[in-house]
Structure 1
Amino acid sequence: MPLRAKMASPIKNVVLVGAGGNLGPSVLKEFLAASPPLNITVLTRPESKSTFPPTVKVIQTDYTAPSLTTALTNANADALISLVGTPGFAAQKTLIDAAIAAGVQRFIPSEYGSDTSNPSVVSLVPFLAAKRQVVEYLVSKESATFSWSALITGPFFDWGLKVGFLGFDLQGRKARREVLKALEKATPGETWEVVEDVDVGERVQATNEKLARGDFGTATDLILAATYGREKELGKFPELWNDVLGLPEGDLDRTVREVVEGKRP
């Protein structure tokens, strides 16, 4: 999505929310490796069991607006990165209000997946509507001192490969056709079973029936449908911003090898 406003001053102090979740370790690792270095703060709840490197400042908050405003002010936050999971999508509006009250310049909402600016994606995956509402709220809060960026990446490849979210079973050596060659390179001498293609329409219908019964265990199948489904090509983005952001293309073989060898968070 387009960058919305020029920054008032360089970003030095970055606060992460949800750093102990699924995506947090990977994102935190990259921020800690930034050059020039950044001052990183993580917000956690008092009951959180998550641990972080000693170079990371940890501030506890109960996630009410006053508590968040105080935490962000104490961190002297220039930018706030939200990595919250599905239950926390709507609560990001409180994060946004607190960020503005604390003088935060830049907000990155918890997107990082399917393109929620595409109505067909939100129609297919209803719980993503909360993400879209957060972006619309950010638009309403734009100002000369507060801007935002929503990063649409598709599912995180290295994390999704590691946990099986993308349809690859590292333990059972089962894979769909995509990425199979890279997996075979990373596991020389081992045999992978190719799982036959699944009809996306049938999978979506079955998942929606389960959701209607209150079974949310297979909700991620809708994300897979949005990623792999060919009918509407929802997994294809109209343009990439790698060049604008100065990001090189990833190395598929290297990434797969590092995931297989346990070198990725």
Structure 2
Amino acid sequence: MVKIALAGASGQLAREIIDALVATQKHEIIGLDPAPLPSLPGVTWVKTTYEDKSELVRLLQGVETVMCFFPVHFDPGSATQKRLIDAAVEAGVKRYAPSEWATGTKLETSLDGIPWYAGKVEITRYLEDLNKEKKVIEYTRFQVGAFMNYLGHPHKTSEHVKTLSFLFDFEKQRATLVKDRLDDVVVWTTVQDIAGVVARAVEYEGEWPAIGGITGTRLTVREMLQIGEAIGKPFTIDWLKLEDIEAEERDMGSFADFDLHTASPEVVEAFLNMALKGILLGISRGAYDITDEWNKILPDYKFTQVEDFLKKVWGGK
């Protein structure tokens, strides 16, 4: 049994992971969040603002693994997550998973396009500095690429994660892509596989890899278009020029504190249009090409493949 604390436990991906941990019937789970959450077997919900370090140290006593799910763009200077990390170290926590859950090792070169992820880079540096002289906490940066479940939108393919149309809209059979960039790579991973890997990672007896890539399916843009053709969902493509996206990059920071779930439909539409261009810029620089450290550690884990997922969701529809 492992005692696990999840910070930002009401987050959609956090809830998927909590369900996977609960299903093992092995662990003591603490869900940290400002809001109360529904009763689940084996889960203790603790209300906290994360502002009091001494309170966090007390709450993390006896915890082996802390996982963070903060939206980093709502944490100026990453102050809250740094406080959580410091409290984890002081409480003697063995393992920490920062709030990554998306892009890979080339994120830093893409921050002009996706500035809302800057906190991920800042926390990486903070953890590296903590362990510079000697290892004070083991950590892994769970990097997963894009949620494959988005490819099934608007169909419900996950329990908690709400989907949106992302890059490839299979319902409308449209895609927005960058001209002459068909060999750019995106890794697609289902939220169920992310949760499944995490549930195994907390039990892993070896040392966590600092970079913890989880690769469901690694596809080029060209290969995704070919899959669409094969399952009877060919795309009409809106082509953008990379140089035009780069010229607009200075405006992308205007949404750095944006909340997709509470904004008006008009603001959401404006954000998605801007964010799509930023993400396409990131893809062109390799930000969504994920490594496979956890695939290698867990060679028996069977990941859902994009083509199988799409056939299940869209076959005959």
Q: Report the CA distance between 1:113 and its aligned residue.
A: 1.4
The answer (yes or no) to whether the contact 2:32–2:46 under 8 Å persists in 1 is: yes
Distance 1:93 1:214, change over 3 A: closer
**Partner of residue 24, structure 1:** 14
**Partner of residue 66, structure 1:** 54
**Partner of residue 65, structure 2:** 79
Q: Give the distance between the partners of 1:13 and 1:95, measured in 2 at CA.
A: 16
TM-score, with normalisation over the residues of structure 1? 0.72
Amino acid of the structure 2 residue aligned with 1:153: V
The answer (yes or no) to whether the contact 1:116–1:122 under 8 Å persists in 2 is: no
TM-score, with normalisation over the residues of structure 2? 0.62
> What secondary structure is seen at the aligned counterpart in 2 of 1:57?
strand
Distance 1:212 1:17, change over 3 A: closer
Is 1:154 matched with 2:207?
no
Q: Give the distance between the partners of 1:194 and 1:88, measured in 2 at CA.
A: 39
Is 1:244 matched with 2:297?
yes
**Partner of residue 183, structure 2:** none
Q: What are the superposed Cα offsets for residues 159-218 of structure 1, whole Å, 9 maximum, x if unpaired? A: 575422522446x533437656767898x9xx6753433334434543533545989534
The answer (yes or no) to whether the contact 2:33–2:48 under 8 Å persists in 1 is: yes
**Partner of residue 135, structure 1:** 124
Distance 1:256 1:103, change over 3 A: farther
Alignment of 1:27-106 (within 5 A): 27-34=17-24, 37-45=26-34, 48=35, 50-51=37-38, 53-64=40-51, 65-73=53-61, 76-85=62-71, 86-88=73-75, 90=78, 91-106=80-95
Deviates more, 1:79-88 or 1:16-25: 16-25
Q: What RMSD over aligned residues (CA atoms) do the two structures have, in Å?
A: 3.4
Distance 1:102 1:257, change over 3 A: farther
Distance 1:125 1:19, change over 3 A: same
The answer (yes or no) to whether the contact 2:106–2:287 under 8 Å persists in 1 is: no
Amino acid of the structure 1 residue aligned with 2:66: L
> What secondary structure is seen at the aligned counterpart in 2 of 1:138?
helix
**Partner of residue 235, structure 1:** 288
**Partner of residue 275, structure 2:** 220
> What secondary structure is seen at the aligned counterpart in 1 of 2:45?
strand
> What secondary structure is seen at the aligned counterpart in 2 of 1:111?
coil
Q: Give the distance between the partners of 2:43 and 2:289, measured in 1 at CA.
A: 36
Give % identity. Answer: 21
**1:199 aligns with one of 241, 261, 272:** 241
Deviates more, 1:123-132 or 1:207-216: 207-216
Amino acid of the structure 2 residue aligned with 1:244: I
Q: Give the distance between the partners of 2:256 and 2:26, measured in 1 at CA.
A: 46
- Count of residue pairs brought into register by the alignment: 238
Q: Give the distance between the partners of 2:74 and 2:281, measured in 1 at CA.
A: 21
Q: Report the CA distance between 1:84 and its aligned residue.
A: 1.2
Q: Give the distance between the partners of 2:129 and 2:257, measured in 1 at CA.
A: 35
Q: What are the superposed Cα offsets for residues 223-242 of structure 1, whole Å, 9 maximum, x if unpaired? A: 34313x3xx444334x4221
Q: Report the CA distance between 1:117 and its aligned residue.
A: 5.0
Q: Give the distance between the partners of 1:52 and 1:169, measured in 2 at CA.
A: 36
Amino acid of the structure 2 residue aligned with 1:72: L
The answer (yes or no) to whether the contact 1:166–1:224 under 8 Å persists in 2 is: no
